[in-house]
Every structure is written in C-alpha cells, then in structure tokens.
Amino acid sequence: MYQKEKPLLFLLPSLTVLVLVVIFPTVFLYYSSFFRWGLGAWHDRAFVGLYNYYFVLTDRFFYNSLIITLAYMFMCVTLEFLFGLVIAMTIAKIRVRAVVISLLLIPMIIAPAAAGLIWSLMLNYTYGVIPYILKKLIGFSPAFLGPDYAFLSTVLVDVWMWTPFVALVILAGMEALPREPFEAAQLDGASSWQIFQHITIPLLKPLLIFIILLRSIDALKTFDTIYVLTGGGPGQATEVLSLRIFKTGFFWGGYEMGKASVIAIFLILLSTLLVSTFINIFRRLIRV
Amino acid sequence: MKRIVNARGKDVFITFVRYFLAIVFVMFFIFPYYWTITISLKTRAQALDPSTFIFKPTLENYIYVFTAWNLGKYLFNSIIVSISTVFLSIILSLPAAYSLARFNFKGKETVAFWMLSLRMLPAMCVVIPLYVIFSLVNLLDTHIVLIIAYLTFNVPFSVWLLRDFISSIPLEIEEAALIDGCSRFSALMRVMLPLLSPGLAVTAIFCFIQSWNEFALALFLTGTEAKTLPPALTFFMTSVGVKWGELAAISSIVTIPVIIFAWLTQKYLIRGLTFGAVRGAH
Amino acid sequence: MQKGEKLKNSFAFDKKLSRRKAISTAGKVAVAAIVSGTIAGICGYYAGSQAQAIPTRVVEKTVEKTTTIEKTTTIPGAISTVTRTVTSTVTASPTIVTPEAEWKPWAEEIKRKYGGTKIVCAMAATVATEALEKMIKEFTSITGIEPIFDTVADVYLEEKILTAPDKYDVLMVDFFWIPTFVAKGIVVDLKPWLEDPMRTPEWFDYEDIHPAYRGSCKFGDFIASIPIAGESRIITYRRDLMEKYGQEYPRNLEELHELASFFHKREPELYGWVQRQNPPLALSGFMEHALYEIGDGFWDPRTYKILISTPDSIKALEYYVSMCDLGPPGHEAMGWEESASTFMAGHAALGSHTTAVAPWIEDPEKSRVAGKVEYRPPPPGPKGWFCAVAGWSLALSAKAPEDKRAASWAFITWMASKLKSKEYILKGGVVTRLSNFEDPELSVRYPYFKGIKECLDGAYNLIRMANAGYKTTWIPQEPLFGDIYGRVTPIIGMAVAHQLSPEEACNEAAKEIERIFKEAGRI
C-alpha cells in the first residue's frame, strides 16, 4: 500500500524552501569567501583567490575567538548540566512543582537580547544592583564587565538563561523512566544516593548526552546576549566567533566581508565537527 | 500533608531543604526579570541609582518610548512577521514531517539528520548571504525578508517536532481511513490533523516564540521600516550612554506578551520542550 | 516513593493532551491576543498622531542675576596671550532676537518655489537632533517645507546611509565619515551652494563657524557638510580638591599624569582619571590624548610611511594606558554617560569628557560637583598642542533626487545659520559658531564655553599643519580610514585591557594599516 505513494512529493515543498534558504546561501558563502568585497558593494568585488583564507588562518584574533568560543561552550554546557541536574533533583518531588516550573520557564522565553541588556545593567559597576549589594555586604565588588571577569559574566548570563531548560528536560526524562528498577532497588535496601548513582544516571544517559549536544550547538551559535552584554568584551575578552564575524564584516569595516565569510565557514565546520563527534559517541553508547 | 508531618526527622529535613533550594533557585531566575520591570517604572535618575528599592512608579518611560520612538510600528512588525512565519513554516513542514514519519525510503535517516543539523546553523553565517541576495532583489527592510529568513530555523525545527508527534499517533487510525477509500492526502487532512492539533499547537508556539525573540537576523536585514522589537532595543544603546529606563520599558514590552502567551500555553510548551528531547533521545 | 504517587504527581509529561483542553486554551490565547491587539492598536494610533511632538526632557531654568565677569585667558602654547574682559548684565532669559526683516524675503521665496515639499532626513539620536526637532514647526510654517526625521542610534546611522543613500535628502554626517562619504560620492560639494548668494542668504554666515569645525568638514577643497554640533574633549578638574591639596594646574601632559596619580586613591572612592573608553571607540581615546601630542600620528600623508609604531608613538600608547589605569574599576567598558556620571558623583578628580556633557556636569540636579569644576583644554604635549575635534554635520545627499536639493539646502541653511544659532543653543543644541562663543549672555549661562573655544583653537593647530601638508588632520582625510579605524581600535582596546603590551599593540596596528594600504593598492 505504501509503495504506491510518492514520499518525495510530500517532502518537496519543505525541501525546496530549505534548499533555497539554506543551501543556496551556504554555497554563496563559499563563493563570496574568494572575493574582497564590502557591505552594500557586492558589485565592486575583486577576486582574490585564497587570500582571505590565508589571512584568517594567520590572524591571531581568529584563533583568539576560536579559543574563547570553545571555552565558552565548555563552561556553559558543563555548568548548565550540573546545575540543571541539581535543580531537577531538587524539585522532582515537591508539591508546588507546577508553579515552580512555570516560573522557571521565564529565562528561556525572554528574548536573549533583552535578557543580555538587563544583565548588563545589573552587572554594571557604576549603576548596577549586584556590585552595589556586594559592596554593601562584603565591602568590594569585582568589575564584572571589565577585562578580567567579562568572560565569566557572559557564561553567567548563558547559564541563567538555559539551566531551566536543562532542568526541565532532565525532569521529564526522570518522569518517563520505568518504575521497576527503582522499586527493586528500594526493596533491596539501597540508599537514595546509591539509587541515584547506579540507576537514575545510567538510565538517563542517552537523554543527558542529547541535552549536552543540544546545548553545545546552541552555545556555539550565541550572538545576541554577548553582543548586547559586552559587544566583544573589553579588548577581545569575550569575542566569540559569531561576534568576530560581525566585527569583521559589519562594523566599521569597509571591505572585509570576504574574510567574514571565511570565518563563518569555519564556524559552520566547527559545528558540524561537534555534531558528528557527538552522534558517534551517542551511537556507541546506545549499542552498549 | 500528613505524610510530611509524620515522617522521620530525616525526611522532613530533606523536604525543607528541597523547598528552600527551590525558592532560592526561583528567586535567582526571576530576579533579573523583576528588575527589568522595576527599572522600567523608574525615572531616569532613579534607574541609575541602584539603591532605590522603594520608589514611586511612573509610566513616563513607556509613554516616551511609544510617542518619541515609534514603537507601535515595531510592535506591529513583530506581530506580522512572527505570525506569518509560523503559518508558513507549519504549512511547509507538515508534509515533510509526515513523509519522514510514515514512509520508509532510502536515505530517510540522512534527510532527517540533515534537517536536524540545520539547527546548528548560526544566524551570523546565514545573514551574510541573505543580506546580499535580498539587497540584489531590493527586498531588504520589508516584512517578507524576515519571514523568509526565519524559515531557516523554523522549518527544520517544525519538521523535527511534528515528525515526533505524528509518530506517536497510531497507524491504525490512518489505515482505517485508507481502507475506507481515502487518498493519502485526504487521510492526512481529515483524520490526522484533528488528532495532531496539540502537536501543531506546540510547534506553533515554539516557532512563534523563537521568531518573536529573534535578534541577529532582524538587526541586519531590516532598516527602520520593518524592524521588529528586539533590535529596537539597540536604539537605546547610544554611544553617549544607555538609556536604561526606556530600554527596560521596551524589554518589558518585548517580553510580556511572550510570557503571558507562555503562561497560557505552558502545558504545550513543556510538552514540546521535553517531548522532542525525551523521544529524540530514545 | 509509592506506586500510586506516580500518576498524581507526574506533570503532564506523558499525559495525552486532550483536544478539548487545546480548544479552550486556544480560546484563551485568542482573547488575550485580541485584548493586547486593541491596546497595541491604540498605542500605535497615539504614536502616529504624536509622531512629531517629542516630549522634552530638558528642564529650562531662567537665569536671574546681574554679573560682572572679568576673565583673563591665557592659552598655553599659543603665540600670544589673549586678555578678554566681559561684563554682562542678565536679568531674565537670554533674549532671542531673529528680526523678521532679515529672513522674510528669503522665506517667502522658498515658500513660493518649494512649499509643500517633503524632505527625508537621516538623523542620529543626539541632543542636537532633539534641539532641531523643536525648531521644525517654525521652519515648516514659514517655508512650507516639511522635514521628516528618520532618527536612529548614532552607531547605526552610517550603515543605514550607506545601504540606502537614495532614500534620504539630508544626511547627518559624523566628521569621521566624511572621507569615506566623499570618496563614495554620497555627498554633494557645497562650495558652489555657499558661494551663490541666491542660494545662501547673508544671515547664514559660513565663516562664523569655528575654523576647526569647518576644516573637519572639508576634504581638500571639497566642502562636504555644514557643522551642526561640534565637540571637543575638555579636561575637567575638581577645583575644590585642587585647592584642598594645593595643586597647580598642569602645563603639559607629563604634569597632567602626575596630577592624576597624585589624586588616585588619595581618598576612599576617589580615582585619578576617568574618561570614556568603550570598546568600539577605544582608538578615539588614544587619538585624542596621546597619539598626536606625544606620538607621531598614524602615517605620513606625503609618503604613507607608517608612523604608529615609531618609538614616540609607542611612548604615546604607554602614556595613554597608564592614564587609563588611573581610572575606577570597570573603566574599560565605560561610555560617555557612565564616565561623566562617575565624575559627577565625585569619584574622580580629573576627567576627560566630550564638551557635549559639560551641561550635565553643571546641572545641580544631576551632578554633585556642579559649581566646583574647572574646565580647561588638554595641555600640550612634546609634539605640540593639538586638541581633538569631532562632531556632527548636515550634508546634502548626492544620490537623492535632485529636485529636492534646493528644499533640503533651505533646511540646512535655516537650521545651521547664525540667525537661529542662539535659539538652537538655548533649545539644547551644541555650540559651533564664534559669535555664540563670544556672546556675553550665553557665556554666563554656559560657563564652559570659554574652555570649549580654547579646545577648538587647539584643534585648529593640527588642521593648519595638515593643510600645510605636514601631518594628517585629526581624522585623517583618507577614505580607507574607516577600515583602518575598525581594525586598529580593538588592538588599542586590548592594550588598555592589558592583553597586549603597548609595544606589541603599536606593531600590530602598524601591520594592520600596512595591510589595508597594500590591499587597496596604496603602497
């Protein structure tokens, strides 16, 4: 019965759109990376071959952004994962859980740009409420958006925004787990901690890996919050790759869009690499 | 209630700790939002002074933002763009999700994986080519450009979500309709769609929220005509200094509709957030 | 965990969502949408009908006092000393006199020819724009021309103009962009317009605008725009602290540094030096304070030899970084407003500010140090006395349809003229004209005018040398300067944040400039 149908026909509308909106621009990105051109001056372009690639690969700022992006991703995902786990465990069994969960939705739903802005006011050394409280409580406060701590501040904002998401997903996963292993373990007299260690975590593993993958991909993409919070940071302290693309091509630069395209290509490659690695780990885990 | 009171001392303590921690967590996550609202109700001088906890609220920021900064237009743009792109995305993704869920063909997993991988496309990478292409056809700074640009992330996401929802509907219902003589397509419309409506709701809600909040593409692809709300935030980050009061007012305007929307539909939101994850992982 | 608990406590994660609930929720959402849509509609309507009326946030105070002022000014480094005695009596608000006879014939002619024209102006969100907006109504009533202001934040204006130059008739142009705009043919040469008495009435008086501003809006002989809001950098000193510790005002940059170090942390919450440094504009700070006065500048305009990595320029960057270090925590991220607020709250002994924020410092409602501040231009350095100059100007768009050009020029002429300048300043505009600087009434109301004028005289020094070919102007007249700025400013920012040493930073900057010139085929 199914063979008569044409599955491709169903797929066609969305595939066409995606090809136009995604494939075509990506190909264009590759194409434009071989030129020296500026914003609004595409007709003025000049072919430069691989020069842009040479430039980016020998640009210290590119490697700086690369390191910062990777560091950002690792820190954010680790912290969100740990805190998310803790929060999920904490609220798993309390009765007002529904209210708590609906309140915890808020950070994820706020526009990241708006969230970044309000954090930039809260952390501002002169006007902000957090340094003010710290100064009152312990006498001094670090300059959150200064060169030493700006990076940690961006991690803080990301953690604030997405930990509820991680917690929620872990909570859902916990609820979907089968009851029998837990009951069996309780009958055997295992303590809560042992149950947690040997039953909950292993059963949740696929979900946890999945959520780590999801967050990692999103962390690499981050632009809104960092742009609005530090604009790249004092010096280059918080310049992740997305921001580097922005600064190269869009801000004050005249003819650097070719180089921006190269950096964009590298960002896409990085994401692809990350996803494939994770999928491999995932598959290996499932088999075991 | 009786359970907690009568339990062993240890359990009461743990429960107390749980509640305490829960309150701490909630306060941590809610505080910045509370702060946004209070700043938007303060005067300029008060907004800059972190010590004013008790003050007389004033609506001057909101009024100023609407009259002097043409915010009504941006609000309108946001609404138009978000709703249109959600409609378009769902119409485009439904057939694809259906085919990925129901049919078996060579390369199905590859296609599915490819669509999922589109999620990792950063906005900044997509913006460069889109900017050039749209400037060549002179469509920059219109609603259309954003509606199309948002398809980049809405369609893969919708396909992924809808595919899961469709898979969860038992095959028998469809087979019954097919046996009764419906074509594939009309089976889809008459039988599936009603059953799928919660799933559609979830997808629509997510796409709406993502589109409403989207910042990078809107910032670069629009000027002043079709600008949506989130980039309008940046108008207040002048090089002289940031106008915090007005900014907080706009932030509230940007976020309050979404929050109300989310509160009304939270069951669907949570279902969507977790459904995809829990199922996708298994 | 008991068996029965699961179903009760499970939070709908696995429960099927019923259709009926879905419909009721949809109903709730629809109601909420309709209600909010109505509210939004009302707001939008209100916004539309109020589009031109900008609520003012300026508190106007009338000055009622009789004062006799005797001022002797000495301009350090100048060739001669200038003594000026000013006596003035002010009883009420300064008088704004615009005799009708002067402009009426002009206005009637314009109304006859161009009445009813709508011109679109791309403007930046500055205090000057707000002042101009207040003057629109009068302009429209006498000339029949309707200006429509499309205002955006200043950092986005350039991009906006570059992407759609044909949409706007009048452009508000930052001095920094003039080389790029001229090279791209975006602005019209105003020389023929200014020289034609039929187009430019006498009461406009181009020569009355301070030469430093005029020079910055030129590109060689090409007059790109008319300055409407100029600014310079002025050093503010806390007079009370200076007197308390018996300090003398510095005569050169070295002494300025010593003075700042003296005050740094001398009292709790007191820092030596505060200025704006926010990351995208880090290079401006360096240019303003050290690059030209201690260092050698960016490059030699005659030979394109890169001068930013000479030993003197490295010393300049070291000086600049050490001055920034004397600032409060978080100074690397401070913008104008924040650094001014820090000074106004009394946390800094010295500060460098744009002259545009001087009014705030003197406003007792905002500033705790109002009345205790001395305003002076930056002292000279070993290479000379060059102050900074920057600002906004109005230009005619070359890509816009030509028939609107005359109407647009009428707009620019009116708004930037000598005739309306006093009113413009009193409405919050920024001073640009010599006649305003020397106006006794305004000097009483704005005591920092004197300091500003001295800064501009210093700025003019550099322009004079540039015209003679010895140096680049403060903003080098090079179309690629925008690119250079964009590449060099993060490097300077890294030096200030101590992520690079001054020597490394200067060398990196030199490499970047060389690369940009090479890519463009300049060298």
- C230: helix, coil or strand? strand
Crossing angle of helices A112-122 and B244-264, in 10° steps, is: 130
The full DSSP string for C374-400 is EEEPPPPBTTB-----EEEEEEEBSSS
- Percent of chain C topping pLDDT 90: 3
Model confidence at A151, pLDDT cuts 50, 70, 90, reads very high
Q: Of A36 and A223, which is predicted with more confidence?
A: A223
Whether B72 sits inside 8 A of C43 (CB atoms) is yes
Instruction: Tell me which chains share at least 3 CB pairs under 8 Å with chain B.
Output: A, C
Q: What is the pLDDT of residue A79?
A: 95
Residue that the structure tokens 């705790």 belong to = C368
Between CA B250 and CA A64 the distance in angstroms is 34
pLDDT above 80 (res C410): yes
- Token pair of C80, please? 């001669």
The pTM of this model reads: 0.79
Q: What is the pLDDT of residue C14?
A: 45
| Contact yes or no for C432/C227 (Cβ under 8 A) | yes
Residue A96 with chain B: CB contacts under 8 Å: 22
- B43 in reach of chain C (CB within 8 A): no
Nearest to B178 among A1, A39, A42 (CB): A1
Nearest to A13 among B95, B130, B220 (CB): B95
Model confidence at B29, pLDDT cuts 50, 70, 90, reads very high
Crossing angle of helices B266-281 and B143-167, in 10° steps, is: 60
Whether C480 sits inside 8 A of A36 (CB atoms) is no
Model confidence at B74, pLDDT cuts 50, 70, 90, reads confident
Whether C57 sits inside 8 A of B70 (CB atoms) is no
Q: What Cα–Cα distance (Å) separates residue C431 from each residue in A40, B144, C406?
A: 35, 44, 25
Q: Across A109-184, where does the E strand assignment appear? A: none
Q: Of A103 and A76, which is predicted with more confidence?
A: A76
- B44 in reach of chain A (CB within 8 A): no
Nearest to B155 among A5, A14, A117 (CB): A14
Q: What is the pLDDT of residue A73?
A: 93
Q: What is the pLDDT of residue A77?
A: 94
| Contact yes or no for B89/B151 (Cβ under 8 A) | yes
Between CA B243 and CA B226 the distance in angstroms is 23
Give the other-Cβ count within 10 Å of A66's Cβ: 17
Which secondary-structure segment (H or E) carries C422? Answer: helix C418-426
Mean pLDDT of the region A210-238: 85
Q: What is the pLDDT of residue A71?
A: 94
Between CA A221 and CA A77 the distance in angstroms is 13
Distance of CA B102 to the CA centre of its chain: 27
- A267 in reach of chain C (CB within 8 A): no
Between CA A279 and CA A216 the distance in angstroms is 13
Whether A114 sits inside 8 A of B254 (CB atoms) is yes
pLDDT above 60 (res C87): no
pLDDT above 80 (res C205): yes
Q: What is the pLDDT of residue A153?
A: 93
CATH number for the region B69-281 comes to 1.10.3720.10
pLDDT above 50 (res C66): no
- B230 Cα to chain A: minimum distance (Å): 7
- Token pair of B147, please? 């509606």
Residue A125 with chain C: CB contacts under 8 Å: 328-330
Residue C36 with chain B: CB contacts under 8 Å: 257, 260
DSSP A197: I
Mean pLDDT of the region B85-103: 85
Q: What is the pLDDT of residue C37?
A: 62
Give the other-Cβ count within 10 Å of C358's Cβ: 23
Q: Chain A residue closest to C339 (CA)?
A: A126
Q: How many pairs of residues across B and C have Cβ atoms under 8 Å apart?
A: 120
Q: Which residues pair with C433 in a beta bridge?
A: C209
Q: What is the pLDDT of residue C98?
A: 61
Q: Chain C residue closest to A94 (CA)?
A: C9
pLDDT above 50 (res B183): yes
Q: What is the pLDDT of residue C48?
A: 47
- Token pair of B228, please? 């949506």
Whether A42 sits inside 8 A of B136 (CB atoms) is yes
Whether C498 sits inside 8 A of A147 (CB atoms) is yes
What's the alpha-carbon Rg for chain B, to the nearest Å?
A: 24
Mean pLDDT of the region B114-137: 81
- C147 in reach of chain A (CB within 8 A): no
Q: What is the pLDDT of residue C41?
A: 58
- Token pair of B269, please? 């939101």
- B101 in reach of chain A (CB within 8 A): no
Residue spans per domain, chain B? 2-40, 69-281
Residue B50 with chain A: CB contacts under 8 Å: 127-129, 131-133
Model confidence at C40, pLDDT cuts 50, 70, 90, reads low
Question: Residue B138 region, left (φ>0) first, then alpha (ψ -120 to 50), else beta?
Answer: left
Q: What is the pLDDT of residues A255-279, one digit of tens each?
A: 688 888 899 999 988 888 887 887 7
| Contact yes or no for C448/C358 (Cβ under 8 A) | yes
Nearest to A252 among C345, C485, C495 (CB): C485
Q: Which domains does chain C show, CATH number per domain?
A: 113-231+390-449 (3.40.190.10), 233-386+480-520 (3.40.190.10)
Q: What is the pLDDT of residue C77?
A: 36
Query: Lowest-pLDDT range, B10-19, B108-117, B230-239, C86-95?
Result: C86-95
- Percent of chain C topping pLDDT 70: 80
Q: What share of chain A is helix, strand, coil (3-state, %, to 5)?
A: 75, 0, 25
Q: What is the pLDDT of residue A155?
A: 94
| Contact yes or no for C330/A125 (Cβ under 8 A) | yes
- A162 Cα to chain B: minimum distance (Å): 10
- C209: helix, coil or strand? strand
Q: What is the pLDDT of residues A24-62, one digit of tens each?
A: 888 888 888 898 887 767 777 888 888 889 989 988 889
- Token pair of A260, please? 């921006």
Q: What is the pLDDT of residue A162?
A: 92
Q: If you count them, how many residues does chain A have?
A: 288
Largest separation between any pair of C-alpha atoms in chain B: 74
Q: Chain C residue closest to A148 (CA)?
A: C497
DSSP A231: T
Q: What is the pLDDT of residue A24?
A: 83
Q: What is the pLDDT of residues C122-175, one digit of tens each?
A: 888 777 888 888 888 888 888 888 888 887 767 678 777 877 777 889 999 988
- Token pair of C5, please? 């608990």
pLDDT above 80 (res C290): yes
Between CA C411 and CA C373 the distance in angstroms is 37
Q: Of C37 and B116, which is predicted with more confidence?
A: B116
Instruction: Tell me which chains share at least 3 CB pairs under 8 Å with chain A.
Output: B, C
> Average pLDDT, whole number, for chain C?
77
- Token pair of C185, please? 């043919």
ipTM associated with this complex: 0.83
Query: Lowest-pLDDT range, A114-118, A184-188, C248-252, C373-377?
Result: A184-188
* Nearest partner of A259 among A53, A28, A58, A68, judged by Cα: A53
Residue that the structure tokens 């005002």 belong to = C249
The full DSSP string for B220-263 is HH--SSS--HHHHGGGGB-SS-B-HHHHHHHHHHHHHHHHHHHH
Pairing of the two strands C390-396 and C170-174: antiparallel
Q: What is the pLDDT of residue C84?
A: 39
pLDDT above 80 (res C88): no
Q: What is the pLDDT of residues B222-269, one digit of tens each?
A: 876 788 888 888 777 665 567 778 888 888 888 888 888 887 877 777
Q: What is the pLDDT of residues A94-104, one digit of tens each?
A: 777 778 888 88
pLDDT above 70 (res C15): no
Q: What is the pLDDT of residue B86?
A: 93
Model confidence at C51, pLDDT cuts 50, 70, 90, reads very low
Q: What is the pLDDT of residue C85?
A: 38
Of the ranges B166-170, B270-274, C499-503, which is most confident? C499-503
| b/e per residue A72-96 (b: at least 16 CB within 10 A) | bbebbbebbbebbbebbbbbbeeee
- C449 Cα to chain B: minimum distance (Å): 20
Between CA C340 and CA B175 the distance in angstroms is 73
Model confidence at B7, pLDDT cuts 50, 70, 90, reads low
